[in-house]
Every structure is written in structure tokens, then in C-alpha cells.
Structure 1
Amino acid sequence: MSRKLEDLDRIDRQILRILQRHGRLPNVELARRVNLSPTPCLERVKRLEREGFIRDYVALLDPLKVHAGLVVYIQVTLTDTATEALEAFNEHVSNLEEVQECHMVAGGFDYLVKIRIKDMLGYRRFLGEKLASIPGVRETHTYVVIEEVKTDTAVAVPDPEPKAKGSKR
């Protein structure tokens, strides 16, 4: 049975919040933090994984240590926005390892792309040899990040809605 966020109780939501920040936290410690014994806690984690609330566990790397300290946002405008052109762009950009995020947007351009790269020379090469060479790319506008004020991978998990008086749910 696939559940929705509304079906998760306070403890499930606490587990999600904690594991977003501390994915390698031992189950015994997680159980202690949510006031459960280890077995029911592990059962909840496994259920949250099965139901797709938890997709994966990853290591977060220090971008400077792996020579990817420069963050660049690129507005991309395509020559054509027919379904086939969009799908072709999506496939090309999905295969570029420097791309961290790519979003189709509504407004004055078609895509907003976020990359991490070593330096401006690396960006120039990426733009000329990779992004601008994708068929259908008409125009790009570049925004180089001067300072990262907040970077976070966590998704906000809201508290459960208070139940209405007389509600059976």
C-alpha cells in the first residue's frame, strides 16, 4: 500500500527529518531520538523506503575538495519547444556530469541549469563544447555565483495537520 504524506504520523516525519541530515545514523541511535525501540524503528525506516519516501542514501562531497567550487546558473532558450525538441534537450543535458540540476521553466526562457565546475576556464569549455553544442540551443545567459548563502539538500517535512474537532481521521 502506497501512502501519502498525510498518512504519516509524527514519528515517521521525525525519522525523515533526521535521516535527511544524518543518513548513516545507526538504527539504535535513530530509535533513541524518536523514542522507539530499535525493531519498530527499523520497520518504519524499511516501510518509508519501500513506499518511496526515502529514495536513497548518498555521501555529500565538499565541492572545493573535488575541484567543483564554482557554481553557475545558465538560462537556456531553445529554437523549438515541440515535445521532440524538449525530450532531445532533456536527454542531452541529463548526460552532462557537470549539471547538478536542470529545470524546465515557464517564462522568458526554457530551462534553468545549475552546474558546479572548477573555474571560469572550465565553464567556458563546458559552455562551448557541451551545452551550446546541443542541437536546438538558441541562446544562453550565465549567472556566476559570488557566494553561496544557503545550500541544502533537505526537503521540508511539515508537521501533521491538526485534526478537526469531531474528525475520525
Structure 2
Amino acid sequence: MNDFDKQILRLLADNGRLSWTEIAEHVNLSPSAVQRHVQQMQASGLIKHFTIALDTKKLGHEVRSFVEVKMQRSDVALAKQFREIIRELPQVQSCYKLSGSVDFILDVVAPNLEAYGQFLEREILSIPGVLDASSSIILEEVKAYEVMVESARHD
């Protein structure tokens, strides 16, 4: 990744709707060169996909929480089943497998606390192999996703 790639990534992270021309003006390249850089970053897997950031509250999700899930560790099939079930639950925005005493962390949304409690009880705690689920309700978003390109390696 070169300096042009880093500049392009910063611009796209701030506004993914910029045109090749608009990006080109900022990084002093031609629009076609910018497009080639982006296509190369996509082909290499550096850019996985383009997406949009949604305001979950405006979508009717007043509650957002991180849920730490502890699993029965002696059965690999249960962990596989857990992953499959989690992928199908629309309330789960993201799920990560962790090292340490917690096995998974989920980013969960719900319209209200009552619905959130029911979701935990009926959906998460009922999954085979789940031993415990601990919630941390998000009170305020202090910093959202940000691309860190400064320390990225040069190829």
C-alpha cells in the first residue's frame, strides 16, 4: 500500500460516495488512476466491501448492547451451531470470537429493553452450549469505526 492508497482510503472512509473525480482532485491523480488504485485494493482484499453507516435509533432500535457469551468449550459442534444461529438473527449486528474467558461478543440492537430482555432469554440463552450471556448496554457512542491507515504497511 502506497501513500496514494492511504489518502484514497481516508477519503473513502470519510465519504464513500465520493466520485473518482472528487478523490482525484484531493490526491493529485487522474480519475482513472484513482479507480485503478481502488480496484487493486479490492482485488487484494484490502477493501472488503463498501457499506453505509446507519443510525440504529432512527431505525427504531432504542437499545444497543454488547453481549459477552460464554460457551461450553468441550463440544466443537456446539460452537459451529452457535455461529450458524447467530448469523440468522437480525438483531445481532456483528459477532466476534474472542480469546480469553469470553468466547464471543455480540453487538445487538432492540426496539426497547423489554424486547431486548426477551431476545436474550428466547434467542441467545436458549442456544445449545451457551453457558452465560452478560450484557453491557451502550449509553453513548464516543467514537465510531475509523480507518487507521497511518501505521499500515508499505508494499
Q: Above 0.5 in TM-score?
A: yes
Cα contact 1:75–1:111 (8 A) shared by 2:
yes
User: Of the two, which has the highest radius of gyration?
Assistant: 1
The corresponding residue for 1:107 is 100
The aligned length equals 155
Moved more, 135-144 or 103-112: 103-112
Whole-Å separation in 1 of the counterparts to 2:73 and 2:134: 17
The corresponding residue for 2:42 is 49
Structure 1, unaligned runs of 5 or more? 1-7, 163-168
Where 2:85 maps in the other structure, the secondary structure is helix
Cα contact 1:78–1:139 (8 A) shared by 2:
yes
Whole-Å separation in 2 of the counterparts to 1:142 and 1:114: 10
The corresponding residue for 1:78 is 71
Q: CA RMSD in A?
A: 2.0
Q: TM-score scaled by structure 2? A: 0.89
- For residues 139-159 of structure 1, the C-alpha deviation after alignment (integer angstroms, 9 at most, x for no partner) is 11121122222222x331125
Moved more, 138-147 or 76-85: 76-85
Residues 161/108 of structure 1: CA separation in 2 closer, same or farther (3 Å cut)? closer
Structure 2: which amino acid aligns with 1:123?
Y
Measure how far apart 1:128 and its partner are.
1.6
- For residues 75-119 of structure 1, the C-alpha deviation after alignment (integer angstroms, 9 at most, x for no partner) is 211233432221111111121111122222222232221112221
Runs of 4+ in 1 over 4 A off after TM superposition: 159-162
- Identity, % of aligned positions: 29
The corresponding residue for 1:4 is none
Q: TM-score scaled by structure 1? A: 0.82
Where 2:100 maps in the other structure, the secondary structure is coil
Is 1:141 the counterpart of 2:131 in the alignment? no
Residues 145/161 of structure 1: CA separation in 2 closer, same or farther (3 Å cut)? closer
Residues 135/161 of structure 1: CA separation in 2 closer, same or farther (3 Å cut)? closer
Residues 161/104 of structure 1: CA separation in 2 closer, same or farther (3 Å cut)? closer
Is 1:10 the counterpart of 2:38 in the alignment? no
